[in-house]
Chains A and B, each alone.
Chain A
């Protein structure tokens, strides 16, 4: 995977698989401290301490269809190669939090990639899940608690073409506006 946005999608899909009801995703570009961090927090079924320790091992996965999991170990390696780290905290029955950070200016740091598409895909493909998206660059912030949108839609599907256009524009323009230097 060549984009951090794809890793973010991957981690969030783990949360979906863990039966999360709420998934909170945060990206923070701290320009003055030269750090880029991402956090995915869920209230899914969580993991035991032993599983947490083993989960960044490339030969461990919770899936049953395939014996090797590769998402988290590769991301951990990518972070460590950029003066960063990956931390997982989890409690059985409470949920899991994955935090990863990089030296933002590091030459090997993966590009962030298409955050708008990652957010849009997650929101649309999992209507029952409550998503909270936050993306900060310095002082600027994009924030969406999907409750505001879902309560307004009153059950109208997010894949209705007009709604889809609205949502896509909402993410694209919202994220573009904070990424553009004022």
Chain B
């Protein structure tokens, strides 16, 4: 957002605040549809109410989780973590979502349904940064707090983004892990998801930046390949990398699907143990490959904590303890205290590294 538009936005925010007030009154009158229309006529919502950090946590709120994909093991873990956190605070938890990870229209209609049901807050992992915006802003105009987790929307469409780990940490630590495994020397490649995957591309950007440091001068990044988060494609891309670069020393795969496919291929090929593999994976997926020596170490955040933090943040927003402005702090149960950063982003923390010594302690 350029500074030029800032005054206009602030003015708009004031209008919205007034509208929101009017809306609450109108909603009491039961004319939800009309008030929605009124709200739609004003420009973008921006929470301008001031935060009251010492406000009591409201009880009986409903926090709805809308993951990218239901029945996806990763989101089941994160949402279960969210459920525990939300219910521990005495609120109601629910989860809805599409069974496909690319059904953006489906996600939009779930947002609309949740808005109509007047849930207190939505924790959503967006399939697309822009497509959900209209629906989410509609929800916010109707008083629903919107927290994104795992995968963000544009910053103007949500109150808060709970980030799994800062992109910078993820990108840099993956390079550090790889460098350690190959002795700071040799050719490496990256096996990513889709070429358009926002998360992966940001991480890869930081990986490239980390590789510019003098201690990594003997490491060359030769190629970024895209496995489209499909087992067979990831297999073939891995094969292609190994054929194209016979001296390849290591592969970084910043996607859980890619890393397990690459690990499965390496473990059954002559490259096992000779070509190092690291990246983002889940302990359950990777257990066999760590135990059989294909993979030394990989990393990930704890998705259960991510879901929990999203839940705490949603309740804090709905209780008025925070508004999502930079610098505000809130407590997230046993996860501790978190401060809202720039662009209304809350970061969970540094990723956890899994290797032979600790992988047995994790089950997700």
Same complex origin of A and B? no
B interface, CB within 8 angstroms of A: none
